Amino acid sequence: MKKLLLVALLASLNGCVLLDAYRMAHFDNNEYMLINGIRTQASVGVAKCGSFDVVGAVDSIYFSSLELKNYAASIPHNEATIKMTNELAVITKELSDKYYGTEEVGATYCKLKFNLIEKNAITMQTAIGSKPR
C-alpha cells in the first residue's frame, strides 16, 4: 500500500512539472536573437567609451532593449522574461539619459554600465535559451 501511495505521489509531482512546462512560454528564436544582439552591442560598446562613437552604441543598445521588451510582452506565459526585459530597458535608459543629459559622462561610468548590460544579457540569454522547445 505504501509503495502504491509513493508511486501516486511521484506521478503527481511529475504532472506538476509537465503542467508548468506547458504553461511556460516556449523557446523563441526572435527573443534569443534580440538578447544576443544586445550582448554583442554591449561588448562592442564598452570599447567605444571615451570616444564620440559611443553615442551611436548607446542609442543602438537602448533601441534594441526596447525592441526586446516590446516583443517579449506580447508572448503569452512569458512573465519571467518580461520582468527581465523591463529591468534591462531601465538600465539602458539610464545610460541613454546620462549621455543626453547636460553633464559629461566619464569613461569609467560608461564601461561599468556596458559591462552591467552585458552581464545581464548573458544571464537572460541563458534563461531564454533554456526554455522548453
Q: Tell me if 19 is assigned to some domain.
A: no
Q: Tell me if 15 is assigned to some domain.
A: no
Residue 133: the pLDDT is 81
How many structural domains is the chain composed of? Answer: 1
Rounded CA gap, 71 and 74, in Å?
6
List the pLDDT tens digit at each of the 133 positions of the chain.
666 665 665 566 555 544 444 455 789 999 999 999 999 999 999 999 999 999 999 999 999 999 999 999 999 999 999 999 999 999 999 999 999 999 999 999 999 999 999 999 999 999 999 989 8
| DSSP, residue by residue, the chain | -HHHHHHHHHHHHHHHHHHHHHHSPPP-HHHHHHHHHHHHHHHHHGGGTTSTTHHHHHHHHHHHHHHHHHHHHTSTT-HHHHHHHHHHHHHHHHHHHHHTSSSPPPHHHHHHHHHHHHHHHHHHHHHHHTS--
Q: Tell me if 114 is assigned to some domain.
A: yes
Q: Tell me if 61 is assigned to some domain.
A: yes
| Domain span at 95 | 25-129
Q: Tell me if 115 is assigned to some domain.
A: yes
Q: Tell me if 82 is assigned to some domain.
A: yes
Q: Tell me if 120 is assigned to some domain.
A: yes
Q: Tell me if 13 is assigned to some domain.
A: no
Residue 8: the pLDDT is 61
Residue 6: the pLDDT is 56
